[in-house]
Structure 1
Amino acid sequence: MTREREDNQTNNRGHYMYVDSVYAKHFQEVAKFTSPMTTVPMSGCLSFFYHRDQEMGNIFSVFTRDQQGHYEDVWKPDVYITSGWTHVSVDIKAPRPLELVFEAAFNSARGGYVAIDDITFSPDFCHTDTEPTFDPSIANCDFDRGMCLYHQEREDSTGWRRVTVKANLYRIGDHTLGTGSFLLANAPSSSRPGYVGRLHGPLLPGNHRYCVRFFYLLHGSKSIDNALLLYIYDENNVAQEKVWTLGDSSRGVWTQMEITYMKPMTTKLVFVSICKNFWECGLIAIDDITVSLGDCRAHTDPLPTECDFEGGVCGFIQDKTEDKADWLRVRGHTPTSYTGPRGDHTTGVGHFLYIEASLMRPGHKARLLTSDLRGSSSTQCLVFFFHMYGSGTGILSVLLRDGETDRLLWRRRGEQSVSWMKAMVDYTCMNKHQIIFEAIRGPTLRSDIALDDISFKRGPCTDLTDVTPFSGSSEYFNEIEK
């Protein structure tokens, strides 16, 4: 609330913000006063005045909150002061979009009040000994001009090699340009049986939240166990935490991975590749490592080569021009009975995309588009899982957009199964293109359609069973399996 009374600056009749327990409607009510979300990285000195009474009846604090809802304490009062306005100055850092929240929580019906006034921000730190915001780009590397600040665990180790692929050896080359360099592990010519390759990155200061992104490529591997892992080491290599390991992945295509972490001590990234048998392990490549401050989910820059929708929609785009509804990202079962899945395909408790038939009219469509995909003269394989259960289920189609032309690749009509089903679709397009997932609502509310675990692979689809691939225009072409 705003009150006109003696404010802090002039002791005259000005305005300030306050919250009073007499206006609370519920016991233990919490009041929040929130700033706009920042739009550019910033750091400096936050200054404000506060006035407070009834120490035992309320809790007053200031914190930041990012776009994903993560909180970070900025300030809490150390002592209870009753005599007039009290000045506070505290250093804050906002390397990613943040909002500032002043919170007062009342513990009793006589919780008193909290007032704030004269909130200011200066780009200069309040205290001269405050450490400036750290630039994590020292850990970035595309390997085109060398190893940057990365190094092997042992100087004589050849487990990770920087290579520049000759034309047509790996058709897509490195990730950055297609003609540059990347790091390669498990090369039989440079490793020995039972080898472990560890690639260490530069030291990163503690008490920062880091977003780590990199691209990896898996080639010819039969076994993916320990093929590629990412560890966080402390600076003395004593504390070691595995934060990511390679799961079932697309072969022969660069795939982006992102990990967010925060540690109190100085840390470094360590990429580990283990191979006991060269005949099973194949080759592992990494490229374009980037490290930034903040949560990865606060940024959107992933490629749709593989997506389980746990961290977001992976760069997929809702079509706002040719449809009447959107695909929804949810967890758990869909709200309408006798239609939709009970959980996602990946784990049963994760996220998936679906259309909610109750929000659409019969015949309305929802379209989901990939961002632009690179063309290739060779066959590509699209793999995804879909769920079409319900007596009124409509149509699910996959189309290829090449310029202004949409070409049908795959289609299913009506109820298919109460379980998730796998589809594998071969296609060829030499030009830059997009893949479109189109769902059309059926005649009744029991018409939910869901998608999960979408991935793209180079080369034709393999492990085709039950149904023979088809290259015509029937609604039952290409491969499907339960």
Structure 2
Amino acid sequence: MCIRKQTLGDISIDNNVCSPNVTYSTGELTTTSSEPITSTTYPPTIYDCDFECNCTCNWKHDDTINFKWIVTKGSTLTTNTGPDGDHTTGSRSGFFIYIETSSPAKFNDTVRLISPDLIVTNDEQCFRFYYHMFGSDIYRLNVYARINGNLGKALWQKEGNQGNQWLFGRISLRGNIQQPIGQPYQLVVEGIIGRGFQGDISVDDLAFNQGPCPVSTVCDFETSDLCSYVNDPTNTIDWKRFQAGTDSSLPSVDVTYSSSHGHFMLLKSDNPSRIGNGRLLTPNYPDTSGSCIKWYMLLENTATLNIRTYGFGAINSNILYTIHGTHGNQWKLAQTTVRSGSSYQVVFEGILNNTNNTLDFIAIDDIEIKSGVCDELGSCDFEKDLCSFQYLKADFDWKRTSYNIELFNAPQFDHTINNRAGFYLWMDRRQTIQGRKARIESELMLVEVRCISFWYFMNNTVGAQLNVYIRDPRSDTYSLIWSKDQIHGSFWALQEITVRPNMTVNGTNRFTIVYEAVVGSKTGDLAIDDLSTRSGSCLSATPPQSMYQCLDGTLIANTKVCDFIVDCKGGEDERLCGNCTFEGPINPLCGWTDVSKGSLMWKRGSN
């Protein structure tokens, strides 16, 4: 099935915001992808290809499989997947390669593009490329080093929908090719087809350079210089650069490459009796009124990680962020805001306790420091991306989309900007198997009284559910705190939930929020937007005594409820008005009016 895309020519800007509010939050993301800090010009090589020749340059298709990468320009054949132009020229006239996932392609079909021979060397070398993975059925993109015809383990891997954008990929080759110095190998770019036709994966601007990969805004520890990070000379245990997958007790993949060929920084002692601490310091950063530090982490057993700053020759006593103990076996993204009136260094301080004679460890990867304060915990308007939310493994994924993208087949307006171009998360109407689920998870939050707020849209569904859970990632325990399975009409409704410590798993100190969509017997529209949280109870959860709160947050007088006049957008003020106990002090007749004629009349009485 192929649906031709429309050609659109609109350019818009919206939602420019400056906020004085400062907080820190932790979270988890699907990927970390960053453009180089500066544009560097490298000499051309036989491995470079921008596909502007309407060919694959010196790269060859794998003739042992039936499917091939397709060279094209403009957009791919199917709507709601693939780019609308190439990366090289940024226009519809530029060329790129992609995999076509419409019929006759089927799940797990594979395409491969193979480079000319490269030679293993001890020198720094880098493979660079851009990739586009947009669509609800996106599966997997791999890069391999093929040795004597064998692929082995992937050097680099990405899976799932990465958003409607070209992203920068890079692989540091030195030390990652399992072949002796001086021997040949080939790079292989492999795309694997997902379960539906909205799974087009695109690649552009393949390039190779001698020397290190270009400097990025993210420190990924893929080169031995460690981005100029250094250990504190007073450490009792030093942080070390470690390759994923070389120890079964440690992370099997890193964050940067999502493979066993990637690296991360590790703090671990060599035996349980050796306890201690280690500090890893970043390079100097200038004074800031608010910068956001983001990093991925994994903690084991009873380890503690503190984030601090170093300035004027001393460690700042103020701890910006702290976390203790394990929180599951997946990489978690954390973030915190730093302010400093002078130049500073960020300090990653790990403390190993090795409780119960069990080795602790702390792993960190993909550290980024950007100007501007961090986002609120558990908050996202989806206008740019998923913020600090992450898709959880489920039957399918929520789809970040808009009315314009869906070609008028979804909620007409988002809630944030009340516009057809505005984004939200949506349960795709093509999901028709009842009971299938999609889940998205927030970052970690401290257990405390907290207000969860979100807007939801449920219309023309039958049996579909929207559920909200709080999850303890350590025990993988889900606690249902809110559920909705009734439609309310074609408008956005506000929901606020106060989370209290007694609602979480006993003994846990952090939790995440999970939003779950469940397919019903009829698929209409189910969407969420403008998710947020704040410390304290939800103040607006209970309206004033004389007022009634509509689902969209509008307040109307209680006297307007059940008066046979619809005042709420969804008509809920008149929906349940057939029943009346005649007990209320306000509007005791529930809108009923006595229309008796003659001497007998209905009157409200009591015993």
Q: TM-score, normalised by structure 2?
A: 0.34
Structure (1/2) with the larger strand percentage: 1
